[in-house]
Amino acid sequence: MRICVIGSGYVGLVTAACLADFGNEVTCIEKDQKKLKGLSKGKIEFRELGLDGLIKRNKAAKRLIFADAKKSERSISDADVIFVAVGTPHLKNGAADLSYVHQALKNISKGISGCGTEKFRVIVIKSTVPAGTSDMIERRYKIKNAAIVSNPEFLREGHAVSDFLHPDRIVIGSENKEASNLLSELYRPLNARIVFMSRKSAELTKYAANSFLAARISFINEISNICEKTGADIKQIAEGIGYDKRIGTSYLKAGIGYGGSCLPKDVSALIYTAHKYGEEAAMLKSIDKVNEAQKQRFTKKILKALKKVKGNTVCIWGLSFKAQTDDLRDAPSIPIIKALLEKRCRIRAYDPVSNKKAWKEEPRVKYLDGPYKALKGADVLAVLTEWNEFKMADLAKARKQMNHPVIIDGRDLIDKEKARQAGFYYEGVGTP
Ligand code: NAD
């Protein structure tokens, strides 16, 4: 099939590369000139396991090409299936910003109306959009001989290629049988379970899934706070409840609160939608409130430790919102660092992949190119991202670099017994 993917970010690029690998002819359209120039040379702006090789192989086979959004009309009109995978960040009021989606639809509309051919096309909304968006697009753009389908994406950053190729399920929200069949055929190589539903249900499924994951994180964080007060251990509790089949083990790791480009914005957008329809959304609001408080709680732990040792230098290990990605969008590290800077702390930081991106967010921090270099003269080590290299750190070496041997571990990553044996004061999450 001929495919066009609009937007070459985490979702668009992975979708385009994987579909090209199935033998389709794919054009990936991007409006950001810098990104486009890099992609044409095979350079990807973000880190994603396995994506590099997929892109190289399919570019060489001429099944994957990149095009400028301004010159995309031909690629759009030639395509059988057009994916919209542009960003939908949240506005100040929490609502999803659909301006990029509209821009993409204007391009699609122009490309199709100007081409003169009447062939049937499927326009697939892969971006996360509020319930009713596909209906609105259909009414507003009235694109001839085309069906609008909602096909939300569930991949995780850091595992995006593997998640795309081995999905738990594919959700297709469609009111048009021909379009459903065409998409099913496109996804046939995956041998995946496909759940068909209405477009509105598909759109809301995505928000429900992310809000549910966020709820699990806020829940376990709240229980971990009770553990800290009562002397119970959150790891033991997560295991104790997780083996219950009705509960399951995933997303039960206590920490410093969730972040990233999806969970925070999707919870906000769902609250906005609920309010728009007169619903209170009390539980969704609590998920967000607990998450904000968790970041502040961690900052307070660092400040308390600094006060004890009469120091002000904090070494941060880990900046990206989770391991295996360099993404800093809505990463808890940024508000935590800003809050510490406000309290006149000096910050030295190290992340194996996102130092450069972090510098653009917060230039007042001193970014070092190694974990032990970053520790030099620190009064407190704060662990923010669960990278394996921190888990396996040489604690004796770490201690030698520091002014005071204090670890405040937001991910409960470092073995607390080993830390104490190495002479550290250690404080994790949800442990006595
Ligand atoms: P992103 O910001 O990484 O990528 C979007 C890309 O689209 C950018 O490169 C941008 O320049 C480009 N773009 C915007 N308007 C364009 C236009 N008119 N023409 C061509 N290019 C255009 O975003 P992302 O993380 O890939 O997310 C995309 C969507 O998928 C969002 O709605 C997001 O919520 C959803 N989603 C993201 C993830 C994730 O893990 N990142 C997972 C599932 C779903």
Given this model, what pLDDT does residue 166 score? 98
Q: Is 311 in the pocket of ligand 1 (CB under 6 A)?
A: no
Q: For a pocket test of ligand 1, which of 4, 8, 11, 258 has the largest count of ligand atoms closer than 8 A to its C-beta?
A: 11
| Residue pair 213/267 in contact by the 8 Å Cβ criterion | no
The token pair that represents 158 in the structure block: 């850091």
Dump the DSSP string for 160-205: HHHHHHS-S-EEEE-S-HHHHHHHHHHTGGG---EEEE-HHHHHHH
Three-class SS state of 144: coil
Q: Is 336 in the pocket of ligand 1 (CB under 6 A)?
A: no
Three-class SS state of 5: strand
Given this model, what pLDDT does residue 27 score? 97
* pLDDT, mean of each 10-residue run, the chain (432 residues): 97 98 97 94 90 96 95 93 97 97 97 86 98 98 96 96 98 98 98 98 98 98 98 97 98 97 97 98 98 98 97 97 94 97 98 93 95 98 97 97 98 95 97 86
DSSP-H helix ranges across 253-382:
263-276, 282-309, 333-342, 355-361, 371-375
Dump the DSSP string for 201-256: HHHHHHHHHHHHHHHHHHHHHHHHHHHHHHT--HHHHHHHHHTSTTT-STT---SS
Q: Is 264 in the pocket of ligand 1 (CB under 6 A)?
A: no
Torsion angle of alpha carbons 407, 408, 414, 416, nearest 10°?
80
Given this model, what pLDDT does residue 41 score? 87
Q: Is 104 in the pocket of ligand 1 (CB under 6 A)?
A: yes
Which residues, in sequence order, are CB contacts of 342 under 8 Å at separation 6+? none
pTM: 0.96
Q: Is 7 in the pocket of ligand 1 (CB under 6 A)?
A: yes
Instruction: Tell me whether residue 262 is one of the annotated catalytic residues.
Output: yes
Q: Dihedral sign, CA of 360, 365, 368, 372? A: negative
CA 387–ligand 1 middle distance (angstroms)? 25
The token pair that represents 282 in the structure block: 């009390």
| Beta strands 194-197; 313-317: pairing state | unpaired
- Please count the other Cβ atoms lying within 10 Å of the Cβ belonging to residue 362: 17
Tell me the sheet residues that pair with 84: 6, 125
- Active-site residue, from 4, 18, 28, 262: 262
Given this model, what pLDDT does residue 432 score? 81
- Please count the other Cβ atoms lying within 10 Å of the Cβ belonging to residue 255: 28
Q: For a pocket test of ligand 1, which of 261, 320, 328 has the largest count of ligand atoms closer than 8 A to its C-beta?
A: 261
Given this model, what pLDDT does residue 115 score? 80
